[in-house]
Structure formats: structure tokens, C-alpha cells
Structure 1
Amino acid sequence: MRYLLILLGVVAGVVAVARRRLVVVQVSGQSMLPTYRPGDRVLVRRVAGAKLGRGQVAVFESAQEGRWRTGPLPAPKDARWLIKRVAALPGDPVPPEVARAVDAPEGALVPGGRLVVIGDGSLSADSRHWGYLPADRVLGVVVRRLSSS
């Protein structure tokens, strides 16, 4: 009986930690086709934007009325999340297709605290349209697809 209680306590602890570190987000829109489709559910590991790598798929809070919020991120269920691939990190050259949106001269580098994100699909509003993503708006990185639409 004692071992069962210990096991239940360990399981409860693991579940509590997983709930804080992992989030499920549903994909809407076609910006990540063919990688992710509308209705796909993806598992997201919470990670700071500064810890992302080039090529990873990030989930981040959308801008509100064209402006990025500041301060802590909202609870996962209380925000509209976007999903895009990280194309450039701070210190990387600004991709040519993004330079106009951020008013960057040729050879400019992505500034600290900012990311360049681009959708995999041809219909994507991303850094090519609205410029840099503030790294502090990142919820996390996609770990895997859980279900398809």
C-alpha cells in the first residue's frame, strides 16, 4: 500500500510538471501548409524565444491591432497563438525577403531580442509583412503533431 501511494505521488508530480512545460495548440489557417494543416493539434514545449534554433517551428502570441504586447504571456487558453518557422535569430543576417518590412539595409543583422519567422506555405502573413517577432512573445517550440484534421 505504501508503494502504491508513493507511485501515485510520483505520477501526480510528473503530470503537474508536464502540464506546466507542455501545451497543446490547434493550428488554424494555411500558413504552415504542407507541414501543418488547419485543425492539426500540436504539442508545444514551453521555451523562451531566446532558446529557439533556426528551423524550429515556434508558437507565439499574435500582435493585437498591429502592436506587440509586453509583459508576461497570457495563459495558453486566453490568447490567439500563431505558428511559424524560425528563419533567423539575433545576430543572423536579415533575410532579403524580410529586409523591406524591417527597413534594414543590405547586410544588416537581426537585432537582439528579435526573431524572423516565416510560414512554410505560400499564403502566410509573417515577418515578410509585419517585421521582427519580439522573442518574449514566444510560447514555445512544436515538439510533434498529435492529430491531423
Structure 2
Amino acid sequence: MGGESATRTAPHSGGTSRGPAGGRLGQRLSGLAVALGLVLFLGGFGWGAVAYLPYTVPTSSMTPTIDPGDRVLAQRVDGAEVRRGDVVVFKDATWGDAPLIKRVVAVGGDRVACCRDGKLTVNDKAIEEPYLSSEDKRAVDMNFSVTVPGGRLFLLGDERHGSLDSTAHLTDAARGTVAREDVSARVDAVVWPMNGMLPRPTGFEALGGLSSPGPLRTITAMIVAGAVLVLGGGAYGPVAKRLGSRSRTEPAGAR
């Protein structure tokens, strides 16, 4: 009709209203991501606290594998699980009051000797030890031969010329060996500085299976994945809200 107003409110583009912060489905997925992330993150830390012990190495007896002041993570293990080549944490009253870190080079029943052409031998087999420094690979001044009693371990430092290890206790009744039950943990990695997992001692593989790697990589993956999910899920709401506000304030195009 002639008196009818010619002005009407233009409908919003699309004819529908968006839900807050990107919609209910987005919010639910965001909350699920945060919840799952917290489970992974806290579960990883909890698992790590139960499975591992931290140690700071005060001496150079394990260089160049572990330097003085390095922070390591050692998996809690039973002494019966220890195998040749493992770097272990142990405490023996005849060696002192503090926990010590050395490498197991022979187990009960083995005959360990040094040196043949500068190399350690176990059961007459020369052992390749790539973790030794070039100087220690020429350890021709070391001279010993020990048959390890059952249930005991023979341990050496990777710094062969300066380590107070089994060679410093050869005159003891146990011929420098340590009981398996004195071992409390096996070193998996140097975490500060971030040198990572210790190399596999493949030189001992021909004498028997090596220890399986601990769960440290799995634990680390859980913590990282959890952190990503928490941060990503937590950021979704503010980002979606900002994008939604921007789209509502944009001028409508000519129709």
C-alpha cells in the first residue's frame, strides 16, 4: 500500500546464527582434547616418577659416555635383570657410602681379562667398546684376569685409567665383584645436557642378549602429546571466538 514503509531489515547472510565460540561440537571436541591431554601428560609424569630415578654424576669415571655434572635418568630394575654392557647404579659397602655408576662388563661365571691388543676380553672374546676414548682403547697398562663368582658382577668405568672400579678392589675377598642385589637402577639416558639415550653396547651382543630399552621414549611421547593436546584444546575456544566476532563485524556485501 502507499503508506507502507519501504525500509525493511536485511536478513543476516546465510539466514542462520552461529553458536558461541565455533559451535557446541567444537567446544565438546576442545574439552575432550584437553581432558585426554591431561591424562597423557600427568600419566607420563607419574609413570616416569615410578619407573625412573634421577642422578647427578659427580666424577669423570664414566667419560666420555657421561661427563661430571651430567644429570641422568636410571630405570629402577632388579639386579637379576642386569646384563653385560649395562650402565648401572649400585651401592656396595666396601666401595663407599654413596651410589656409584659403572658399566657391567662381566656376569657370574664369566672370565674377564685385560688386555689383548689393548682390548678387554670376556670368555676369551675381545670386546669392541666404541664408547671408550681413543686413549682408553689403548689400555695396555691394565693387567688382570678374574673369574666372576655366581650372582656377582664385574664393573668398569668408561674412563679406564682414572675410575675407581672393580680393578681397584681386586685384592678384596670378592675380587672386585659386586652382588647383583646391590644394583638398584640401570641408566637409560643423559637428560642434562640433552644427550639422549645411551648407545647400545653392541660389543657384548655375541655373549648373550642385551637389555631391552626402558620405557623412557614412550613416557616422553606421552608427555609431549599430552602437552600439545592441552595447549591446542585450550586455545580452540579463544581462537574460534575471535574468528566468530570478526565474521559478525564484517560489512555485508551488496545483494
Give the TM-score normalised by the residue count of structure 1. 0.71
Name which one, 1 or 2, has greater alpha-carbon Rg: 2
Q: 2:167: which partner in 1?
A: 128
In the alignment, what sits opposite 1:147? 192
Deviations 1:12-47 (A, max 9, x none): 444323211111111111111221111001111111
| Structure 1: tracts of 5 or more residues without a match | 69-78
- What root-mean-square deviation, in Å, do the aligned CA atoms of Structure 1 and Structure 2 show? 2.5
- Richer in strand (by share): 1
Indicate the structure with greater helix content: 2
| Structure 2, gaps ≥5 residues long | 1-30, 115-142, 170-175, 195-255
- 2 CA distance for matches of 1:139 and 1:51? 11
CA 1:45–1:92 in structure 2 vs 1: closer, same or farther (change >3 Å)? same
Is the 1:98–1:127 contact (alpha carbons within 8 Å) kept by the matching residues of 2? no
SS at the partner of 2:187?
A: strand
2:46 aligns to what SS in structure 1?
helix
| Corresponding position of 1:29 | 59
Aligned mates of 2:185, 2:43 — CA distance in 1:
22
1:4/1:35 CA distance change after superposition, 3 Å: closer
- Return structure 1 stretches of 4+ with deviation > 6 angstroms: none
Which amino acid in structure 1 is aligned with residue 165 of structure 2? Answer: D
Q: What TM-score, normalized to structure 2?
A: 0.44
Q: Secondary structure at the match of 1:85?
A: strand
Q: Cα offset for 1:144? A: 1.0
Whether 1:138 and 2:178 are equivalent positions in the alignment is no
Number of aligned residue pairs: 128
1:118 paired to 2:156: yes
| Identical amino acids, percent of aligned pairs | 35
**What is the identity, as a one-letter code, of the residue corresponding to 2:77?**
V
Q: Distance in 2 between matches of 1:148 and 1:11?
A: 23
Equivalent position of 1:88 in the other structure: 106
Question: Counterpart of 1:19?
Answer: 49
CA distance in 2, matches of 1:144, 1:92: 27
Match in the other structure for 1:75? none
